[in-house]
Amino acid sequence: MNTDTERTRRFSELAEAYSTDLYRYAMWICGNDALAKDLVQETFLRAWRALDSLKDVAAAKSWLITILRREFARTFERKVPPFTDLEKVVIVDDNELKPDESTERDLLRQGILKLDPKYRDPLLLQAVFGHSCAEIAEQLGITKSAVMTQLFRAREKLKVQLQKDGVTGNVHELF
């Protein structure tokens, strides 16, 4: 097979496999739909240029996440993006959620955006990409034990926020 065709095929497979999760991840770390889209496009542009350096297909997911995180760091150095109203970008099928569930979901979303990055980052890597604790440790350059602690605390903080805001019922102030 022509090497260019093969290269394009490999790239398309990566895009199909990971673009959705990368967009979700980008959206949750930057909170801005336009910037998230831009980050993902930028990630794949760099991936396309460096595709020949990806020898192990199994490492593709972590490789793409690393590229995106670096690009986000570069962007964030330049400016702090304004947060987007999540309702503008989330396609919600409210028929599947009862009003209470919908409220909980919104509270959780706000809680995720409010999380300190040191808690949010490992949580997203686990919940969005299905990374194991060992993989998260490698991605973030911290120990597995630290990852476990941060994941536990991230969930505890979200649960506390859910209970606190759920009691006060101030969901209308969120967006």
Binding residues for another protein restricted to 147-166, rule: CB under 8 A? 147-149, 151-152, 155-156, 158-159
Query: What's the min distance (Å) between Cβ of 141 and another protein?
Result: 17
Interaction of residue 15 with another protein, rule CB under 8 A: yes
Instruction: In angstroms, give the least distance from the CB of 58 to another protein.
Output: 18
3-state secondary structure (DSSP) of residue 143: coil
Query: Do 23 and 68 contact (CB within 8 A), yes or no?
Result: no
Task: Work out the angle between the directed axes of helices 133-140 and 144-168 (0-180°, nearest 10).
Answer: 100
**Tokens, residue 59:** 């490492």
Phi, psi torsion values for 54, nearest 5 degrees: -85, 100
- The reply to whether 30 sits near another protein by the rule CB under 8 A is no
Interactions with another protein, residue window 39-68 (CB under 8 A) = 40-42, 44-50, 52-53, 67
Q: Hey, what amino acid is at 25?
A: Y
Within 65-84, which residues bind another protein (CB under 8 A)? 67, 70, 74, 78-79
Instruction: Describe the chain by its helix, strand, coil percentages, rounded to 5.
Output: 80, 0, 20
Where do the DSSP E strands lie in the chain?
Answer: none
- The rounded Cα 147 to chain-centroid distance in angstroms is 16
Among 16, 82, 98, 99, binds another protein (CB under 8 A): 16
CB of 168 to another protein, least distance (A): 19
Interaction between residue 24 and another protein (CB under 8 A): yes
Task: Please give the residue ranges that form the binding site for another protein (CB under 8 A).
Answer: 7-8, 11-12, 15-16, 19-20, 23-24, 27-28, 33, 37-38, 40-42, 44-50, 52-53, 67, 70, 74, 78-79, 86, 89-91, 97, 101, 104-105, 108-109, 112, 124, 126-128, 133, 147-149, 151-152, 155-156, 158-159
